[in-house]
Structure 1
Amino acid sequence: MPIRIGSAITTDPTGGAPVGYGLTNVRRTEQNIATNRQEGIELLSDLRVVNLTSGIAGAYCAKLLADAGAQIVTLESDSGDPLAQEGSGALFEFLNTSQTRARASARDVLALCASADIVLDDSHPITLDIESLTNKNPKIVFASITPFGLTGPWSDFAANEFTLQAWCGSTGSRGVPDRPPVAAGGRIGEWVAGSYCAVAVMAAWMRSARTGQGEIIDLAIFDAMALTMNTYTSVFAEFMDWPKLRRPTRTVEIPAAEPSSDGFAAFTTNSAQQFSDFLIFIERPDLIDDTELSNAMGRFKRRDEVIEMIQSFTKQYTTAELLERAELLRIPSGPVGNGSTVTSFDHFQEVGTFVDNPGGRFVQPRVPYKISEMDARLFTKPVIIPDGQEIPDWLERQVEHQPVGSGELPLSGVRILDCTAWWAGPAATHMLACLGADVIKIESVTRPDSMRYTSTKPPSTDQWWEWGPLFHGVNNTKRGITVDLTNLEGREIFLNLVETADVVLENFSPRVMEQFDLDYEALAKRNPKVIMVRLPAYGLSGPWRNRTGFAQTMESIIGMAWVTGWPDGPPLLPRGACDPFAAMHAVFATMIALVDRADTGRGHLIETTLIETALNAAAEQIVEYEASGILPVRRGNASLTAVPQSIYPAEGYEEWLAISIDTDSQWTALVEALGRPAWATDLALKTSDGRRKHHSLIDDELTKWCSLRNAYETACLLSSLGIPAAEVIDARDVSKNPQLLARNFLETETHSITGSHPLPMIPFRFASQGSKPWMRSPSPVLGEHNQEVLGGELGMSEQVLERLKSEKIIGERPVGA
C-alpha cells in the first residue's frame, strides 16, 4: 500500500513509527533524532546540496537549506566568490555560515554533484553536463537560477537587479513627475528569487525522495520580480478593459516616511478608514469628508498640499511620540530604520532577533521561522577544504520507492486550510496549491478576505467583490468556503475540517485566532498530527505582538526604505516584495514540518513573521555597518559598484532607458555599441574607478545618445550585446513582455464572474511538468464550495446548510452587500 504525506498517515507495516511520506533515504531513528538535536543538527541533516552559484539568489537559497540542517558544499572559481570582494565581505560571511567551501577546479565537479540530492547553478549556458549528471543520478534535483530563464527569446540577454527592476515595472511606478523614475535600493529581487528557489528545490526533493523522480528546475529572477515587485497591475488593467494611460504613471505613497523631530516615522493607510484615522491623528478631522483625500491617487494629485499638512504636524514630535499616538488609533506605523539603528529596535531586542555571526565581526538576523520541538541550527563558520584534501565522501544510498502516477505534483495528497487574507498568507497557500496541495480557503460573509474589496467595480455592480485583481492573483487553484468562526457552531464546523487537514495556515495578528479559541493547542486536540502555520506581522511574542503591520511598515522598519530614493529626498517605499518573500519562508518551513511528520507522526506549530523574513533581504546594510561602520545611503539610481548606472530619457514623452555597467568588459562593449566616440575611448574611463570620477561626463553624454533612440529597441540591442539595459516600462505593461509570454508565466483564468484574463503565476518551471499550467482552477467566488466541502465531505445535509445560510454562519454574499 502506498505510504503518503497526506492526512491518511499510515503505520509502517514493519512495526516502526508512522512514516506517511516514505522518505526512506532520510528516515532517522528516534536515537538519531535525539542525537541530531543535541548536536544542533536539524531535520535536513541527510540532505546533500552542491552550490555552484555566485550571486545572492543562489547563495540565499543555499543559506535557507543550510539553516535547516542540510549539508552544503559550495564550489567557487579560482578568482573567488564575487560577493566576498564586496565591501568588507560581511554579506558574504552572512550568506555562507554552516557550509563547506572548496575550489571547483580542484574537484571532480560532476562526480560530486552526482552524489548530491540537489545542485544549484547560476551559469548560462549551463556549464555542467546535465545529461551525464542525470544518467549518474536519476533522482537528482538540479536548479538553474538565471536572470531570464533557460528558454525564451531573452534567455541570453544581459541583466542585473537594476535593469530587471525596470523591465518588471517596479522602477517605472516609483517617484514624482518632476524627477526620473527611481529604482528600489538594495537587491530585493535577488533575495526574493532565492526564497522561491528554496521552495522549488525543497518540493522537488520531497517528491524525489518519495518516488525516485528527479527534476530540472528553471527559475528566472525576472519572473520572480514580475510577480513580487509589481502588484498585479496588469490584472487591474485587464479587469478595467485597459483604460487609457496618463503619463507619468509613477507615484509615491502619502503618508509614508514622514520627518519627525529626530528622524522619520512611517505610516501605512491602505484603506479609507485608515486614512480617516490618520486625519484624526494629525488633528485634521475637518477633512474626513473630503472624499478625494480618502483615495491614494487623490492624495497624490494634491501631494504638495497634503505633504505640507502632514509634515507640519509630524515635525513637532519625536518618532517615539508619533508611534505611541498612532498605535492608540491602530494606524500601522513604525520607525524608519537603517543599518545603524535596526538592531536597536525594541521589538527585535526583546525577542532576540539578532545573534552573533560565528566570525565575530557583526550580528545578523536569526533563522526567520520557528518550528515547535525543533531547535534552529546554530550558525557555524564555513569549513574551507584546501586543494588536494578530499571533501568528506557522500556514499551512495539505497532508496526504496513507492510507485506513483506519472506527473504527480510534489504536494499531491496534502490538505491545507487557508485562514488568510491580504497578500502574504494567500501567497503562501497559493504556492502550496500550485505544488499540488488541496487548499480550502476559509472566509466568512461577515469578514471576507479584504483583498476582495480592492475591486475594480463600484459597489453598485452585482458581485463587485469578485473583481479584486490581487485576490484573483493569489487565490486561484484553491477551493473556497465560508464559515463564521465567531459562532460556536461555525467553530465546530471548522474543527471538523481540522480533523481532515494536514496544515492550517493563518496570517492575522496573534489575538484573532486566540479570540476564536483556535490556537495550536485547540487544533492539536482535534488532530495531533496537524501543522499550524502562523504568519503574523511581528510574531507571537514581544512588545509589537498585537500591532497591525503591512509590507510598507516592514520596508520602513528594517531599512529597505532608507536606501530607496534620492539623496536630497525622503526615504521611499520599495513596494510589495515583503509579502510574498515572507510567504515563501512560511512554505519552506511548512515543507520541513511535513518531512518531519513523515518521520515521526507529530504535528507542529510554525511561527514565521513578516518582519523577520523581510529583515534577511535587508541584512546587507546591517551586517556591513556592523562590520565596517559604513552606513549605506540613498543614491537615487546610482550605485557603489556599477558605473555608469542611471535612467536616461529616451526618444518620446516619458520614455526612459536604464543602463547599468557592472564590469570593465561591459563598458568596453558599450563603447563599441556607441560607435567609439572620442569621449568614451578616453583611457581614464577604462576602469570603474576612473568612470566613477567622471560619472557626470558619462551621464551627460549617455543622456544625449539615449534621447535620440527608442527605449525598447535600444534596450534589447544592448542586452543582446552583453550590456545590462532595460526599457523602464509602465507597470501594467509587464503582461505584454515577450519573454514572459514565451515562458508561459501568464496563465489564463476563466472565471464565472470576471471572464477570461491572464494572471501572473509562479516564477519557475519543472521539466517534468513541461508546459502544463500551474493553475488548476479559477479563484473561488465567495462560498463557492460550501456544498462540495461541507455537504459532500463533512456530510452536512441540505437542510442544515440552508439553516446555516439563513443564520449567516455560511453564505455566498457579504453581509450588507
Structure 2
Amino acid sequence: MTARPDDTAPLAPPALPLAGLRVAEWSRSLAGGYAGRMLCDAGARVVRVGDRASSPAPGSALAAYLHGGKVAEPGDLADVAALGADIVLLELPDAPDEAFLAGFGAAAVVVITPWGLSGPWAGAGRPSSELTIQAESGSLSLRGLPNRPPLMTGSSEGLWVTGAMAAAGAVAALQGGRAHRLVDAPLLDVTAYATNLFLDVGASVTGEAPEPPRARNRLNPSVEPAADGYVGFNLASAQNHEDFLVLIERPDWLADPQMTSHQGRYERYDEFTAAVRAWTRRHTVAEIVERASAFRIPCAPVHDGRTVLDDPHTVARGFYQPNPSHPGFLEPAPAFLFDGSRPRRGAEPPPGAVPPSDSVPPPDSVPPPDVAPSSDDGPARAGGPEPADDTLPFAGLRVLDLGTWWVGGYVGTALGALGADVVKVESTRRVDGSRFLGGLPTTHDHWWECGAFYLGANSDKRSVTLDFSTPDGRALLERLIAGADVLIENYAPRVLESAGLDWDAVHRINPRLVLHRMPAFGLSGPRRDMVGYAQTVEQFSGLCWRTGYSDADPHNPSGPADPMAAANSLFALASALLTARRTGRGTLVESPLAEAALVMAGEQVITWTATGVLLERRGNRDPVAAPQGVFPTAEPERWVALTAADDAQWRALAELVGRADWAGDARLATAAGRRDRADELEAGLAAWTAGQGRAALVDRLLAAGIPAGEVRDGRFVHDHPHLAARGLYRPVDLPWAGTIPLPNLPVRAVSGGWDHRRRPPTLGEHNTEILGQELGLDEDRLAGLTRAAVIGTVPVGVA
C-alpha cells in the first residue's frame, strides 16, 4: 500500500467555520450519515442519536468512515429534540407528523425522506429502494446499451448528492430567519435533478415528443480499452472533436462533416468506435492521457478502488488518509479546503462525550448580513441578534459569479434563490459553455440563449459581460470585486492567475471577500492544469468502474459528479460565510470537482484497504437485496424496476408471481441463496412482467409491499405526478425559448422562500444596469466598450 505523504502532517488550524455549532443526527442510510460527516468535518459537534441504519451495515468500514468523530448517544427519535441542537438532521422512511417537526425551536431542521414532506406520495408509506427511486427520477432512461435493460448508477450517487445538499441546506438555513429553517430534502427530487442532465429542459426547448422512446447508448467516445486498462474521454467542444480525430490518427475524417459532429458519430457508431479502439489498444493509459492533454482534450485514466490510490495526483494532494479510529483502512479526506488547509479528522469521541450546554452558542446566534463584523481575531463565534423571521439566508450579499457549466451555475443560482444579489460575469469572446449544450441549432434566432444546461442552472441572476483579458475589462472587474462579498469561479487555475487575479491580488482589492475556487482537479498537484468535466472525473474517480453491466465495459454514470461537486461547493461556501459575516475577514475556499467525485466513489477505496475486496460492476443488482432488477413490460421500451429488500418482500413477490416452487424452495429463503440464483430468478420475473402494462404492474407490486417504480422518460420527468404536485418544476417565460418548465432547487425550505424568483438572464442583459447605473459609466463609455467587444450581448463570431 502506498504511503500518503501527509500522514504525519500536523492538524489543520482548529478554527473551522462550524466550530461551536451543535448538530443532532438521526440517520438511516449514507445520505443522512454523509450530511453529518460533512458538518463534522467543517467543525461542528455532531451527536448521532440511536443506530437505526439500514445501510451501510453498522460496524462496517463504510459506517466507520461516515460516523467517525461523531458522538454516539443511545435514544429514540423523540430524544433528538431534547439535545437543543443548532442543526437537526432527520432521515426518515416517510414524512413525519407536522407537530413533531414544530418541536425543534429555532434550530435548522433538514428532513431526508424518499418522497419529501408534501405531495401525493408523501406520508403514504410507499415502499422504495435506491433502484426504484432512480427509475422514477428518469435517470435510467438515458443509461445503458441497446437491447439491454436500462442501467442504474453503481455508487449510490443519489444518496451521496442528497447528503451533500442536505448539509449545505442546513448551514444555509441557520443563517436566515426562522420561517425558512425547515428544509425538505427528498431523495426523488435530488435524484431527478442530479442524474438527468437537464434532459427535461432540453426536450421542452426542442419540442421533443414522447414517441419514439429515447435511444440508450454509451457516450461515444467515453470509456475505451487501452493496452493496460481503460481510459476515458469527453469531447466537450467542436475543437475537441477535431483534435480527437487527429489524436487517433484519422485526420482524413476532418473533411467528413458526419465524423466531426456528435450526431454523426452515433449514426456511424460501429465504424467510429472501431477506429477509436484500434488506436487506444495500441497505447498505454499513461501515453493516451499525456497525448490527449497536449491537445487539451478532457481525458483521464479509468480508476478502480485499488489503482486510484497510486495516482500521482491523489498521492500529491494527500487525499486518502487513515481512518483515525480504524487505521487499517484509508478513507477520502474532506473535499474542501479553507485558506489552503484541508480539515483533518480526529479520533472518535468516547460514548456519551456530549459537550456541556454552556460551551456552545445558542441556535439563534447567527447574525443577519447587516450586522457589523466582530473585531475579535480569534475563531468565529456567535454573537448578534436573530434575523427577522422572513430573512432569506444570504439576503444582502453581493456575489460575482464567474462560474460555468453545472457546478458554477448551481452554486450561483442557489445563492440567488437564498437571497443574494448574484451577478453572472461572462465574456462575449468566451461565453459559458453550458449555453451550447442541449438546446436549439445554430440556425435558430438567439440559439445561445436556449441551452438546456444554461437554463436549468442559472436562475436568480443578473448578467454582465466583461472581457477581463483586456485592460478595460480587467479594471471594471476589479471595481466589481471591490464591492462584492463573494467571488465564485470554476475555471482552470491558470485563467484567473494569468489575469493577475489570484487569491493575494483579490484579497488586496477586497480583504472581506470570500473567493471560492472550484477547479477540476484542485489548485495543486500534477493534474492541476488538466481540463476536466463531469464525465472526466467520473472516469478518474472510479464512478465509471462501478457503473455498468457485470459482463461489459465500465459505463459513465453521466451526470452525478457535477451536482455532487456543486453541493459540496455550496456547503463549503455557506460554511465559510458564517465566519466571514461574523468577522469581516475574507476566506479562500477550494472545492475541486474531482475530489467530490472521489468521495462519492470512496466506498471502493474503503473496502479495498479494509478487506482486500475490489468492488466491481453489478448492473442493476444489489449487494444485499435480491432479487433486484429492471424488467420489460407489454409496452415496448417501457420498463419496471423492483427490489425484494428482505425475506418478507421476497415471499410476497413469489406469491404475486404465482411461483409456489419459489416460495417453497428453502434455498431461496435467504438473500444469499437468491443472489446465487439471480440469473434464474431474473429470467422468471422478466417472463412474468413482459405480459403486463407498466403502470398497473407497479401498482400491484406496491400493493404487495414490494418497492417498485416505473422507468420514467427523463425528457418528461417534469410531468411526473409526484414531482409536478410538489412544484419541483415551474413554468418560466423565456425570451427566445418560449415557456419552459425549469427546476427549482431540489433541496429547499418548506416555506417556499427558496424557490426561484427570476428567469435566467440573457447574455449581457444587465450591462447598462450594472455598469451604467451602479458603476457610473455613461452611454458613450458603454458604447465604446461595446465597439471594442469588451462588453456585448452577442457571442463574438456569431453572425
Same fold per superposition (TM over 0.5): yes
Aligned to 1:255: 221
Partner of 1:562: 545
Q: Report whether the alignment pairs 1:794 with 2:790.
A: no
Equivalent residue of 2:440, what SS? coil
The answer to whether structure 1 residue 42 and structure 2 residue 12 are counterparts is no
Give 1:403 deviation, angstroms: 6.7
1:531 matched to which residue of 2?
A: 514
Q: Relative to structure 2, which stretch is displaced further, 398-407 or 251-260?
A: 398-407
How high is the sequence identity, in percent, across the aligned residues? Answer: 35
Q: For the residues of structure 2 that align with 1:37 and 1:138, how far apart are their CA atoms?
A: 35
Residues 95, 116 of structure 2: 8 Å contact kept: no
1:370 is the counterpart of 2:344: no
For residue 99 of structure 2, what is the aligned residue in structure 1?
A: 131
User: Which amino acid counterpart does residue 543 of structure 2 have in structure 1?
Assistant: M
Partner of 2:70: 99
| SS of residue matched to 2:151 | coil
Residues in 1 aligned to 2:620 and 2:267: alpha-carbon distance in whole angstroms: 24
User: Partners of 1:645 and 1:291 in 2: how far apart?
Assistant: 43
| AA in 1 matched with 2:192 | A
1:189 is aligned, of 133, 138, 158, to: 158
1:150 aligned partner: 117
Shift in CA distance, 289/154, structure 1 to aligned 2, threshold 3 Å = farther
- Who is 1:58 aligned against? 32
Q: CA deviation at 1:319?
A: 0.9
Task: State the TM-score, normalized to the length of structure 2.
Answer: 0.92
Moved more, 575-584 or 687-696: 687-696
What do the CA deviations read for 1:479-510 (whole angstroms, capped 9, x no partner)?
00111111101111111111110000010100
Q: Give the superposition deviation at 1:449.
A: 1.0
2:576 alignment partner, one of 584, 587, 593 = 593
Q: Give 1:816 deviation, angstroms.
A: 2.1
Distance 1:455 1:578 in 2: 18
- For residues 148 and 121 of structure 2, the distance between their equivalents in structure 1, rounded to whole angstroms, comes to 30
| Structure 2 residue 466 is the aligned partner of structure 1 residue 483 | yes
Separation of aligned partners in 1, 2:229 and 2:614: 15
Residue 368 of structure 1: CA displacement?
Answer: 0.9
Once residues 156 and 12 of structure 2 are traced to their aligned partners in structure 1, the CA distance between those partners, rounded to angstroms, is 36
Indicate if the aligned counterparts of 2:26 and 2:80 stay in contact, CA closer than 8 A: no
Query: Structure 2 vs 1, CA of residues 538 and 125 (structure 1 numbering), >3 Å: closer, same or farther?
Result: closer
Matching residue's letter, 2:601: A
Q: Deviations over 1:82-113 (max 9, x none)?
A: 44537x811111111211112225x9714534
Which residue of 446, 456, 463 corresponds with 1:473? 456
Residues 337 and 343, structure 2, Cα contact 8 Å, conserved in 1: no
Alignment deviations for residues 354-397 of structure 1 (CA, whole Å, 9 cap, x no partner): 11111101111211111117x44431232352xxx684443496
Q: Cα distance, 1:280 vs. partner? A: 0.5
TM-aligned CA distance change 1:337 to 1:39, over 3 Å: closer
Relative distance call for 1:219 and 1:722 in structure 2 (3 A) is farther
Query: CA shift at 1:212, angstroms?
Result: 5.5
Post-superposition shift, 1:807?
Answer: 1.5
Partner of 1:783: 764
Of 616-625 and 150-159, the range deviating more from structure 2: 150-159
Within 5 Å, which residues of 2 pair with 1:494-513?
Answer: 494-513=477-496
Please report how far the alpha carbon of residue 781 of structure 1 lies from its aligned counterpart in structure 2 after TM superposition: 0.8
Q: 1:306 aligns with which of 257, 265, 272?
A: 272
Are 1:455 and 1:465, in contact at CA under 8 Å, matched by a contact in 2?
A: no
Q: Which amino acid aligns with 2:161?
A: V
CA distance in 1, matches of 2:101, 2:713: 42
CA contact (8 A) 2:445 2:736 kept: no
Matches within 5 A, 1:231-380: 231-243=197-209, 245-247=211-213, 249-358=215-324, 359-372=326-339, 375-380=341-346
Distance in 1 between the 2:507 and 2:13 partners?
28
Aligned with 2:653: secondary structure?
A: helix
Q: What is the RMSD of the two structures over their aligned residues, measured on CA atoms?
A: 2.2
Q: Deviations over 1:447-504 (max 9, x none)?
A: 1111112263332322111111110111111100111111101111111111110000
Letter in 2 for 1:151: S
Note closer, same or farther for the CA distance 1:132–1:195 as it changes in structure 2 (3 Å cut): closer
SS at match of 2:300: strand
Query: Cα 1:392–1:485, aligned 2, differ >3 Å: closer, same or farther?
Result: closer
Alignment counterpart, residue 109 of structure 1, candidates 79, 92, 96: 79
Paired position in structure 2 for 1:228: 194
Structure 2 CA distance for aligned equivalents of residues 38 and 162 of structure 1: 39
Select 1:72's aligned residue among 31, 38, 46.
46
Which residue is equivalent to 1:669?
Answer: 652
Q: Which moved more, 1:674-683 or 1:645-654?
A: 674-683
Q: Is the 8 A contact 2:40 2:70 kept in 1?
A: yes
1:81 and 2:53 aligned: yes
CA distance in 2, matches of 1:41, 1:99: 18
SS of 2:405's partner is coil
Paired position in structure 1 for 2:589: 606
The separation in 2 between residues aligned to 1:303 and 1:691, in whole angstroms, is 38
Q: Which runs of 5+ in 1 are unaligned?
A: 1-35
User: What is the aligned partner in structure 1 of residue 7 from structure 2?
Assistant: none
In 2, Cα distance between equivalents of 1:454 and 1:700: 39
Distance change >3 Å, CA 224–CA 133, structure 1 → 2: closer
Alpha-carbon distance in structure 2 between the residues aligned to 1:126 and 1:119? 15
**Which stretch has the larger CA shift, 60-69 or 459-468?**
459-468
2: CA distance between counterparts of 1:390 and 1:309? 62
Structure 2: stretches of 5+ with no match in the other structure: 1-9, 366-383
2:333 partner amino acid: R
Partner of 2:173: 204
Q: Partners of 2:13 and 2:392 in 1: how far apart? A: 34
1:163 corresponds in structure 2 to 132
Report whether the alignment pairs 1:718 with 2:701.
Answer: yes
- In 2, the alpha carbon distance for the partners of 1:730 and 1:222 equals 14
Amino acid at match of 1:263: G
Match of 1:430 among 413, 418, 432: 413
- 1:448 to 1:133, Cα distance in 2 relative to 1, 3 A: closer
Q: Distance in 2 between matches of 1:710 and 1:563?
A: 31
Cα distance change of structure 1 residues 311 and 595 upon mapping to structure 2, 3 Å threshold:
same
2:795 matched residue in structure 1: 814
Aligned counterparts of 1:111 and 1:728: Cα–Cα separation in 2: 39
Please give the alpha-carbon distance, in whole angstroms, between the structure 2 residues aligned to 1:68 and 1:561. Answer: 29
TM-score, with length taken from structure 1: 0.90
* 2:667 maps to which of 684, 699, 709: 684
CA positional deviation for 1:245:
3.4
